[in-house]
Structure 1
Amino acid sequence: MLQYTIRRLFSIIPVMLIVSVIVFLIVHLTPGNPAYLILGEDSSPEAIAQLEKQLGLDKSMAVQFVDWIKNILMGDLGQSIYSSEPVIQVIMERVGPTFSLMITAMSLTLIIAIPTAVFIVWRRNTILDPLFTSASLLGASIPEFWFAMLLVLGLGVAVPIFPVAGYVAIDVGLGDWIYHLILPAFVLASVEIGLIARMLRDGMLESVNQDYTKTARAKGVRESVVLMKHVLSNALIPTTTVIGVMIAGLLGGTVIIETIFTIPGIGQLLIDSIHRRDYPVIQGVVLFIAVVYVFVNLLIDLLYAFLDPRIRYD
């Protein structure tokens, strides 16, 4: 296990290098001059050229990329062009709202998806099964931004039950924290609930008539115990992979949801930085998302060994 983990950690290096190259090229090849945006349209060419030199934008792209990689290896993501603050500090200030939104959305997903899948398998071969399939496909097909706008208009404006904007830190109050996150978190979870429940339901249906479940029933074990102890535990292994992908999808989905609900997280920071052409922050945020994605996949692979003792990485 340890050797496998070390190999996977070393394999992250070329992945991050490729991500760095792609992000750098996309950011710097996109039209727009940060110096022009900072000084305004009435600024003189001399002032713009001076600010470009001050920001290091007058250098060639190759030199800028090499300097950026050197700084990353030393743990420095640079400074924000807009605020002159270290990029790492800017990102860390926005991590709390984003991770809070992700944790709430993931909790809602698992709380709803797992019992739903177990119940559908328990009531298999009834009218509930095709209804569940249709509902899961509908949930996965609805665009997040459209569903978010519907909830804002329905539960935030027409019937003002939930707040439609803003974020409250958890140290202010647990109730207010959840109250402000429940609506955007449900939007993020709505797409994933159907996917997780459908995957878990399919996995359980494959195990429900296996020999070990028939043996358990022959011993007089109740059907609910068979489903929870034998069928569900085996179906969780492939579902865990989908949950790992879901976590990465939630991190990407926050870009849209945080903008709609005005949550000051990583997603809104990325959108604001794109508007400002704040190159260091854009590169730092995308690199941060890539690192989280890679490490989540590593943790999911390691989790397999705990869910199934037959899996070994030696």
Structure 2
Amino acid sequence: MLQYTIRRLLSVIPVMFVVSVIVFMIVHLTPGNPALIILGEDTSPKAIADLEEQLGLNDPLYIQFFNWLSQVITGDLGTSVYSERKVTELIFSNFRPTFSLMSLSMILLLVIAIPAAIAIVALRKTVLDPIFTSVSLLGVSIPDFWLAILLVLGFGVALPVFPVAGYVPLTEGMGAWLYHLLLPAFVLAIVEVGIIARMLRDSMLESVNQDYTKTALAKGIKEREVLVRHVFANALIPTTTVLGATVAGLLGGTVIIETLFTIPGIGQLLIDSIHRRDYPVVQGVVLFIAAIYVLVNLLVDLLYTFLDPRIRYD
């Protein structure tokens, strides 16, 4: 296990290097001059040229890349050209709202998807099964930004039940925190619920037809107990794989949802930095998101050994 973990961690290095090259090239080949955006349209050409020299924008791209990469290796993602704050400081200060939003979304996702999948497997021979399939496909097909707008119009304007903007930290009270995050968290979760519920349902239906399930039912064990203790447990491994990818989906979805609900998270930081052509912040945020995605995949692989003791990484 230890050797496998070390190998996986070492494999992260080339992946992150490729990501850094792609991100750097995309960001720097995008039209727009950060110096002009910072100083304004009425600034003299000399002042713009001096700021470009100060930011190193006049150097060849490969020189800029290796200067930036040498900083990243030491843990320094650079300094924002807009706010002059450290990029790492900006990322971690803005990641708290994003982490809160993702955590609440994941809780809602599991609370909705798991009972729904178990219930549908129990009622698999009824008309509810094809209805569930249709509804889950509809949930996957709905764009999150469109659903967010509908919920804002419905529960924020027509029926002002929830706030449509803003964020309250958890330190100021669980009620206020939940009140501001419940609507955006539900939008993020509901898009992924269909994927997880369908995956769990299909895996459980496959296990239902196995011999050990039929044997347990033949011994007189109640079907509900067999579904929860045996069928559900065996369906967790393929579902966990999809759940790991869902974390990346939730993190990517925060970029849109935080913008719509004005949540000061890492997604909002990324959008604002793109508008300002704040290259170091954009590069740092994308690298941070990529690192989380890679680490989540590693944790999912290691989690397999706890879900199924037969799996060993030798």
Same fold by TM-score greater than 0.5: yes
C-alpha deviation, 1:225, in angstroms: 0.7
Deviations 1:26-69 (Å, cap 9, x if unpaired)? 00000000000011111111110001111111211111100111
Deviations 1:140-180 (Å, cap 9, x if unpaired)? 00011000000000000000000000000000001110111
C-alpha deviation, 1:310, in angstroms: 1.1
Which residue matches 1:24? Answer: 24
Give me the whole-angstrom Cα distance separating, in 2, the residues matched to 1:119 and 1:6.
41
Give me the whole-angstrom Cα distance separating, in 2, the residues matched to 1:54 and 1:209.
68
Secondary structure at 2:83 match in 1: coil
Which residue matches 1:140? Answer: 140
Which residue matches 1:234? Answer: 234
Which residue matches 2:95? Answer: 95
Give me the whole-angstrom Cα distance separating, in 2, the residues matched to 1:294 and 1:74.
20
Q: What is the correspondence of 1:47-58 to structure 2 with a 5 Å cutoff? A: 47-58=47-58
Q: Quick one: which amino acid aligns to residue 115 of structure 2?
A: P
Which residue matches 1:266? Answer: 266
Q: What is the correspondence of 1:173-252 to structure 2 with a 5 Å cutoff? A: 173-252=173-252
Q: Quick one: which amino acid aligns to residue 179 of structure 1?
A: Y
Deviations 1:89-145 (Å, cap 9, x if unpaired)? 000110100010000111100000000000000011100000000000000000110
Give me the whole-angstrom Cα distance separating, in 2, the residues matched to 1:133 and 1:216.
28
Secondary structure at 2:171 match in 1: coil
Give me the whole-angstrom Cα distance separating, in 2, the residues matched to 1:195 and 1:63.
44
Q: Quick one: which amino acid aligns to residue 293 of structure 1?
A: Y
Give me the whole-angstrom Cα distance separating, in 2, the residues matched to 1:232 and 1:44.
68
Give me the whole-angstrom Cα distance separating, in 2, the residues matched to 1:103 and 1:234.
25
Which residue matches 2:33? Answer: 33
C-alpha deviation, 1:85, in angstroms: 0.5
Deviations 1:210-231 (Å, cap 9, x if unpaired)? 1111111122111111000110
Which residue matches 1:14? Answer: 14
Q: Which moved more, 1:126-135 or 1:218-227?
A: 218-227
Give me the whole-angstrom Cα distance separating, in 1, the residues matched to 2:92 and 2:124.
47
Q: Detail structure 1 runs of 4+ shifted over 3 Å in the superposition.
A: none
Q: Quick one: which amino acid aligns to residue 141 of structure 2?
A: S
Give me the whole-angstrom Cα distance separating, in 2, the residues matched to 1:69 and 1:34.
20
Give me the whole-angstrom Cα distance separating, in 2, the residues matched to 1:227 and 1:31.
56
Give me the whole-angstrom Cα distance separating, in 1, the residues matched to 2:164 and 2:141.
23
Give me the whole-angstrom Cα distance separating, in 1, the residues matched to 2:202 and 2:74.
47
Give me the whole-angstrom Cα distance separating, in 1, the residues matched to 2:59 and 2:247.
38
Q: Quick one: which amino acid aligns to residue 66 of structure 1?
A: F
Q: Quick one: which amino acid aligns to residue 111 of structure 1?
A: V
C-alpha deviation, 1:251, in angstroms: 0.3
Structure 2 stretches of 5 or more lacking a match? none
Give me the whole-angstrom Cα distance separating, in 1, the residues matched to 2:131 and 2:294.
36
Give me the whole-angstrom Cα distance separating, in 2, the residues matched to 1:195 and 1:71.
39
Which residue matches 2:293? Answer: 293
Give me the whole-angstrom Cα distance separating, in 2, the residues matched to 1:188 and 1:244.
15
Give me the whole-angstrom Cα distance separating, in 2, the residues matched to 1:29 and 1:70.
21
Q: Which moved more, 1:216-225 or 1:288-297?
A: 216-225
Give me the whole-angstrom Cα distance separating, in 2, the residues matched to 1:198 and 1:191.
12
Aligned residue-pair number:
314
Give me the whole-angstrom Cα distance separating, in 2, the residues matched to 1:196 and 1:75.
36
Q: What is the correspondence of 1:53-202 to structure 2 with a 5 Å cutoff? A: 53-202=53-202
Give me the whole-angstrom Cα distance separating, in 2, the residues matched to 1:37 and 1:205.
57
Secondary structure at 2:312 match in 1: coil
Give me the whole-angstrom Cα distance separating, in 1, the residues matched to 2:181 and 2:86.
28
Q: What is the percent sequence identity of the aligned residues?
A: 71
Q: Quick one: which amino acid aligns to residue 214 of structure 1?
A: K
Structure 1 stretches of 5 or more lacking a match? none
Give me the whole-angstrom Cα distance separating, in 1, the residues matched to 2:29 and 2:12.
26
Quote the RMSD (CA, aligned, Å): 0.5
Give me the whole-angstrom Cα distance separating, in 1, the residues matched to 2:130 and 2:194.
13
Secondary structure at 1:171 match in 2: helix
